[in-house]
Amino acid sequence: MREFDVAVVGSGYVGLVTGACLAYIGHRVTCVDKNERRVADLQRGKMPIYEPGLEEMVARGRSAGQLRFTADLPGCAREAEVVFIAVDTPPGEDGSADLSNVAAVARSIGRALSEAGERERPLIVVNKSTVPVGSGDYVSMLVREGAEEAGNGSVDFRVVSNPEFLREGSAVYDSLFPDRIVLGAESREALDTMRELYEPIIEQSFPAEMDPRPKAAVPFVTTDLASAEMIKYAANAFLATKISFINEIANICELVGADVSSVAYGIGLDGRIGPRFLSAGIGWGGSCFPKDVSALRSIAREYDYEPLLLDAAVCVNERQRKQVISKLQRELHTLKGKRVALLGLTFKPNTDDLREAPSLEIARTLSSLGARVVGYDPVAAKEAARLQPELKAAFDPYEALRGAHAAVVVTEWEEVRSLDPARAASLMEEPRVLVDGRNALDPERCRRGGLLYRGFGRA
């Protein structure tokens, strides 16, 4: 295996995990971030994010001398053979992806390349951020513009799209054992170089402390730039739509007296459908699905195409969050003067990410309707209360439930799944409603414990 000099720009959920995993499989990696405090923390081994297994992975890379951290992007771009762009692409006001961070990095790479003069091999600039179709060409243009600004526009580089599919909460595992690696480029040579870089993952030849290995080999999909960029949006749009689909079915189940959990199990056994992403509840959130579906809708509209199915997926999702409030209103009547406990605040378990977390919107709505809201989360309660000051942080689920008239399961952390209904009921006030936004608890056990259980699509 050839050892590459790699720079990864952006040390967040994607960049830091990618950098740590590339170091683990044997490359020399420098993670770059413009946030100097984040860099200083990482240099001391302090993690900026919560991601299972990441801290150990970073510590291992640092002590082996394979992984370092810096804020000096130009210095890294000059030395590296491959530069990954893994910066955030947040939604702009109109829903389209804001590419200003990607653009700043691309220009800076161009300037660095220009100043470095001739190279032995072209620099491979890999776009790992989720970006609209056409961004590969946009990045090429900006690298060249940056180089021209620095006085030498004839720089040697290739742009590659390498969309990321890791899931927060299992990001390290997903990076080492991915379902596939997707690469898009117009240059065969660049694709071959990327194959070489990823070889230990594709062939699963790196040392793994896991027996048996979950994967024998990883499919390596090569395509053109636009198709690679589209694969990322299409994957997230499909998954979001799948969740909205089961939520639509759940709502109909409630009307006709069917149980969506049985329905999901029954349809999920069909190999064409599959069992995953069929959990009904309060819907999708997080830093990816809302922004990526919104960016894809915005791309379609640029071409005067109405993305009706995607629009519907978003509408169903918005309605699910409102259903939490309706279910509470149905049982509590007025929310004024009522105390509601939110159990789990991050957008899903095993992450500290609160971007577009349903909990924050639910807390805002509840408090605008006069309720007092207490939120429990094993890792993000303090940060959630900072972002949503109407929310009082609790550091234990039972502390959140003390004196509450109702509770909402927002995120199915293990600590929430394993809640003791009888203990919860003993701490709560009448009518002791439990709205299970993830259908994560056993309705019968909750009822026996003294809770008024309300799930989604459950008879």
Which positions make up the binding site for NAD(+)?
A: 33, 38, 89, 130, 168, 291, 355
Q: CB of 355: closest distance to ligand NAD in angstroms?
A: 8
Binding residues for substrate: 165-168, 232, 277-281, 285, 348
Near ligand NAD in 291-310, by CB under 6 A: none
Contact string 31-60 vs ligand NAD (x = CB under 6 A): -xxxx--x----------------------
The single residue among 112, 225, 250, 288 that binds ligand NAD, judged by CB under 6 A, is 288
Q: CB of 237: closest distance to ligand NAD in angstroms?
A: 13
Distance (Å, whole) CA 222 – CA 102: 22
Count how many Cα atoms sit within 13 Å of the Cα of residue 54 in the half-sphere of its side chain: 27
Q: CB of 73: closest distance to ligand NAD in angstroms?
A: 6
Q: Give the interface size with ligand NAD as a residue count (CB under 6 A).
A: 27
CB-based contacts of 285: which residues, under 8 Å, 6+ apart?
347, 348, 356, 357, 358
- Based on the residue annotation, tell me whether 76 is a catalytic residue of this protein: no
When asked if residue 87 is in the footprint of ligand NAD (CB under 6 A), the reply is yes
Q: CB of 95: closest distance to ligand NAD in angstroms?
A: 14
Say what angle helices 225-256 and 135-149 make with each other, to 10 degrees: 140
When asked if residue 352 is in the footprint of ligand NAD (CB under 6 A), the reply is no
The single residue among 77, 143, 166, 240 that binds ligand NAD, judged by CB under 6 A, is 166
**Among candidates 235, 119, 103, 121, which has minimal Cα distance to 187?**
121
Q: CB of 400: closest distance to ligand NAD in angstroms?
A: 27
Q: CB of 15: closest distance to ligand NAD in angstroms?
A: 6
Q: 339-343 and 5-9 as β-strands: parallel, antiparallel, unpaired?
A: unpaired
The single residue among 81, 88, 248, 377 that binds ligand NAD, judged by CB under 6 A, is 88
When asked if residue 104 is in the footprint of ligand NAD (CB under 6 A), the reply is yes
**Among candidates 200, 201, 210, 124, which has minimal Cα distance to 166?**
201
Question: Closer CB to ligand NAD, residue 140 or residue 175?
Answer: 175
Q: What are phi and psi of 232, to 5 degrees?
A: -65, -50
Say what angle helices 225-256 and 260-268 make with each other, to 10 degrees: 140
Q: CB of 241: closest distance to ligand NAD in angstroms?
A: 18
The single residue among 6, 7, 8, 9 that binds ligand NAD, judged by CB under 6 A, is 9
When asked if residue 10 is in the footprint of ligand NAD (CB under 6 A), the reply is yes
When asked if residue 287 is in the footprint of ligand NAD (CB under 6 A), the reply is yes
The single residue among 30, 96, 114, 129 that binds ligand NAD, judged by CB under 6 A, is 129
Question: Closer CB to ligand NAD, residue 89 or residue 350?
Answer: 89
When asked if residue 438 is in the footprint of ligand NAD (CB under 6 A), the reply is no
- Taking contact as CB under 6 A, which single stretch among the options 26-34, 143-151, 394-402, 415-423 is the one that binds ligand NAD? 26-34
* Among 31, 253, 288, 446, the one annotated catalytic: 288
- Taking contact as CB under 6 A, which single stretch among the options 82-90, 115-123, 366-374, 448-456 is the one that binds ligand NAD? 82-90
When asked if residue 81 is in the footprint of ligand NAD (CB under 6 A), the reply is no
Q: CB of 122: closest distance to ligand NAD in angstroms?
A: 22
When asked if residue 235 is in the footprint of ligand NAD (CB under 6 A), the reply is no
**Among candidates 86, 95, 107, which has minimal Cα distance to 6?**
86
Tokens for 431, please give them: 């009518």
Question: Closer CB to ligand NAD, residue 8 or residue 253?
Answer: 8
When asked if residue 89 is in the footprint of ligand NAD (CB under 6 A), the reply is yes
Residues that bind ligand NAD in the complex, under the rule CB under 6 A:
9-15, 32-35, 38, 73, 86-89, 101, 104-105, 129-130, 164, 166, 168, 287-288
Annotated catalytic residues are 288
